[in-house]
Structure 1
C-alpha cells in the first residue's frame, strides 16, 4: 500500500510540476523519482535503478539522434525542394487541388518529425493561395494538423520516442505494426482534404480574388521556411539523396537491422557524399545540435524515471492497485481502454504527462491480463490527432497567429475531424492487430 501510494504521489507530483511549468519535463523526470526514492529508503540502490533505466533506453536515444541528424541533413541538402516546387505549381487555382496538395506537402515535409518546420513551410507555400482564392483558412489549420499527427507516429517523432522510452520497449517493434495505421491515417486525411476541397470548389464559384503571384517567388518563400544555410544545398545530389532515403525507409520497414544501425549508416553515407569537407560536416552537426540534444536528453531522463519506478517496486504496486479495483470484465480490454483514454487525456494533458505519468501505470496493469507494453505503447499513440488541438501544444498558438483566428474557433471547427481520425486509427490498429480488442 505504501509503495502504491508513493507511486501515485510521484506521478501526480511530476504531472503537477510540468503542467504548472514549475519544472521542465527533463528536470522533473530526473528530480522527482530520486526524491521519492530517497523518501522510501532506496538510497543504496537508487543509482543502479537509474542506470538500469538509462541502459534500456540507450538504443532508442541512439536511433533518435541519428534519425534527426539524417533528416536534418536531407533538408539542408534540398531533398524536399523539388517536391515543394512541384506541388506549389500543381495546385493552381483549384480549391480541390489546393487542399490535396496541402495534405501531400504536409505529409512529405512532416517526414522529418518537426511540426514547426512543417507548419512554416506549408504556411509559406499554401496559406497565400488559400487567402487569394477566398478559402476558409480553418481548413488549412485542420489539414496540416491531421498530417502532422499521422507523421508523428514515425520512430523519430516525439510521441513515439516518449512512448517507447517511457515503457522501455523496442521502437522498431512498436513502429512496424503501426505502418498500416500510418497509411490508413494518411488515407483518411486525404479523404477529408478531398471533402473540403470539393465543398470549397462548390462554394467559390467566383474567379480568384486577385492575380496569381509568381510561382517561383512563392516557392522561394516556402523553402525559406526550412531555415537552413543556402550554401548547404546540394541540388545535383537530389537523385542520390532520394535513392538513399528510399533505401533507408525500405530497410526500416523490413527491419533488416536495428533502427539505430540503419540510421547511423545512412547518416554517415549521406554526410560523406554531400559534405566531404570536415569543416562542412562540423557545420551541419552544429546546426542540428539543439534539437538532437533536447530529444536525446529527454529520452535518457525518461529512462531514469522509469528505472526508479520499476526498481523500487512502485510501478508494480500501482498496477496491482488498479487491477484490484478494475472490474474483471474490463481488464482484458486494457489496450482499447488506453487508446480511448488517449484522446481526452492528451487533449487536457501534455505529451510528457501522458506518456511518462499515465501510460506506464496502464501498461503495468495490462500485464496482468497478458497485454504487452509494446501493444500499450501503440494504443497510447491513437490520441495524437486530438492532441494537436490541445492548449498544451505551443505550435498551435503559432498556427492561430499565422491564420489570424482565435484558438477556440480552430478547436470548434477541427475537433470532430481529429476525433474521427483518432477513431479511424484505433479501428485500423485493431484490424491489423497492432493491439488487441481483448487479451
Structure 2
C-alpha cells in the first residue's frame, strides 16, 4: 500500500472503527477512553487538526438531548424503585412465572414485546430491567440472558412504523412508510417467534444449571445493580406504599406523554423527576441523599453518551463515514448486482454495528437504493432489507441503551456483546429467511 491509501478516508474510518472495537472488546481501554482517544488520534492522522474541536462539539450537541433525557430517566426510575412502585409488579410477575427459569425467560420476552410498543429502547430497558431483574436475582439466573432477550425483542419491535429505524429507512429512499412496514410484518413476527424460542432454550439451560447448583448458591458473577434497593432495613424506610397510586398515575402519564409526543422527551422526564422526588421525599436532605445514591450510574451513562457523540462527530465530520459507505459499494461486482437486496440485508448487520442509524440510513442506504434501481429492485425492498440487521445494531457500542442496560444489570458491555452477538445474528438470519420466503426482500431482481 502507498502512503496515500493509508490516508484515504475510507481506510482511516475502517481502521478507526476496528481499533476502537479491538480495544474495548479486549478490555485494553474503557469504552469512554476509547471513544475519545481513538477518533482524536485518527482525526489528527486525517489532517483534521483544528477542525476536530468543532466536529466533536457538533457530535456531542446531537446526543445532548438523549444524554439529558437519560440522566433524569435513570433518576426518575431510581426514585420509583426506592419508593416501592414496582414491588407489586415484581410480586405479580413472581406469582405468574414462579421460580421456573423457562417461564421467567419467556415472561421477559413477552414483557419486552409489550413495553417496546412505544418504540423507544431506553424506556423499554428501564421498565423491563426494573421489573425482571429482581426475579433473575432471586432465582440466580444469568443477567446476560435478560440483556439478550431485551435487545433482540426491542430491536424487532422497532420495525413498527413509529419506530426510528423504519422511519429513517423509508425517508432515506423516499418510500411510503406503510409500504416498507406491512410486507415486513410476517418476517417480524417470525423473528419474535424465534426470540421466544430462544427464551425457551435459555430457560431450559438455566433450569438444568440451577438444578445442579447447591441450595442457595448463586452464580459467581452475580451483579450488584446500580438501581437495586439498599439493605432491607434502609429499603423499608425509603418505601412509600401510601403513594403507590399517585406514583403509578405519574409513571403511566409519563409513558403516555412519551408515546403521544406531548413534549420533548427530556422535558417530560425532567418534569416527572421533579414531581416524583418532591412528593416522595419532600425533605431536602432526603432528596439530596437519593440523588447521591444513584449519581454513579447517572454519571457513567451520561459520560458514555457524550463520548459516543464525540466519536460519531469526528467519524462524520472528517468524511470517513461517507467514504466507508462508498468504498463498501465499490467492491460489489456488477454480476451480483441483481442480488443487492439480500446482500444489503446481510451487510446491514456489520454496518449498523459500527455506524449510527443516522449515518447508515441517510449515508449508506440511499446509495444502495440508487444502485439497486439500475437492476430493477424497488427502493421499498432495499429499505426493508436495510432493517434486517437491527438485532445486531442493538449491540452497537455507539448506542446509549446498551450502556444503560448494562449499567442497570451491572455487567460489562463487552461481556454482553460476546454473549448476545451470535444469537442476534441468528435472529437476523431467521428474519431474512422469512422475508425472502414472503417476498418482502426479493432474492433476485425481477
Match of 2:392 in 1: 383
1:294 pairs with 2:300: yes
What is aligned with 2:261?
255
Q: State how far apart, in whole Å, the 1-side matches of 2:62 and 2:23 are.
A: 25
Give 3-state SS (helix, strand or coil) of 2:391's partner: coil
* 1:39 to partner: Cα distance: 2.2
Contact kept, 8 Å, 2:81 with 2:227, in 1: the verdict is: no
Shift of 1:11: 1.8
Kept in 1, the 8 Å contact 2:85–2:248? The answer is yes
- Correspondence 1:257-276 to 2 at 5 A: 257-276=263-282
Preserved contact between residue 26 and residue 301 of structure 1 (Cα < 8 Å): yes
Q: 1:123 aligns with which of 136, 157, 167?
A: 136
Matched, 1:29 2:35: yes
Residues of 2 paired with 1:32 and 1:5: CA distance? Answer: 14
**2:246 counterpart of 1:240:** yes
Which deviates the most, 278-287 or 143-152?
143-152
Deviation at 1:104, TM superposition (A): 6.5
Residue in 2 that maps onto 1:51: 57
TM-score, scaled to structure 2: 0.62
CA distance in 2, matches of 1:244, 1:319: 45
Contact 1:339/1:382, CA 8 A, preserved across alignment: no
Once residues 291 and 10 of structure 1 are traced to their aligned partners in structure 2, the CA distance between those partners, rounded to angstroms, is 28
Contact 1:30 1:305 in 2 (8 A): yes
1:364 partnered with 2:363: yes
With over 3 angstroms needed to count, the CA separation of the structure-2 counterparts of 1:382 and 1:124, relative to structure 1, is closer
Show CA shifts across 1:114-169 (max 9, x none): 99877752234345xxxxxxxxx89x9867842464358899xxxx99xxxxxxx9
Distance 2:226 2:62 in 1: 39
State how 1:192-231 maps to structure 2 within 5 Å: 226-228=228-230, 229-230=234-235, 231=237
Pair 1:18-2:34 in alignment: no
How far does residue 244 in structure 1 lie from its aligned partner after superposition? Answer: 1.6
Offset at residue 51 of structure 1 (A): 0.9
Partner Cα distance (2:94, 2:389) in 1: 35
1:71 aligns with 2:77: yes
2:290 corresponds in structure 1 to: 284
- Post-superposition offset of 1:21: 2.0
Aligned length: 369
Which position in structure 1 is the counterpart of 2:153?
A: 150
**Cα distance in 1, alignment partners of residues 14 and 58 from structure 2:** 22
Shift of 1:383: 2.9
Q: SS state of the match for residue 314, structure 2?
A: helix
Which residues in structure 2 correspond to 1:64-143 (within 5 Å)? 64-91=70-97, 111-113=124-126, 121-126=134-139
Q: Secondary structure at the match of 1:67?
A: helix
Q: Are 2:354 and 1:310 aligned?
A: no
Mapped to 1, the partners of 2:346 and 2:151 lie a distance apart of: 24
Q: CA RMSD in A?
A: 5.6
Structure 1 residue 75, shift from structure 2 partner: 1.2
Partners of 2:316 and 2:107 lie apart in 1 by 47
Question: CA, structure 1 residues 227+195, in 2 after alignment: closer, same or farther (shift >3 Å)?
Answer: same
**Cα offsets for 1:298-339 (capped at 9, x unmatched):** 111111111112222222222221121134635556762355
Q: Give the Cα separation in 2 of the matches to 1:147 and 1:332.
A: 28
CA drift at 1:364: 3.1
Q: What is the CA-CA distance between 1:261 and the residue it aligns to? A: 1.6
Task: Name the CA distance, whole Å, in 2 between partners of 1:332 and 1:108.
Answer: 30
Measured after TM superposition, the shift of residue 252 of structure 1 is: 1.4
| Corresponding residue of 2:48 | 42
* CA deviation vs aligned residue, 1:177-222 (integer Å, no higher than 9, x gap): 9xx9999977765677689999x99x9xxxx9xxxx9xxxxxxxxx
Give the alignment's TM-score, normalised by structure 1.
Answer: 0.63
| Counterparts in 2 of 1:224 and 1:125: CA distance versus 1, 3 Å | farther
Alpha-carbon distance change, 362 to 26 in structure 1, aligned in 2, over 3 angstroms:
farther
Corresponding residue to 1:324 among 311, 330, 351: 330
Residues 1:368 and 1:356: Cα distance change in structure 2 (over 3 Å): closer
8 Å CA contact retained: 2:322, 2:363: yes
Counterparts in 2 of 1:355 and 1:196: CA distance versus 1, 3 Å: closer
Q: Identify if the C-alpha distance between structure 1 residues 262 and 323 changes in structure 2 by more than 3 Å, giving closer, same or farther.
A: same
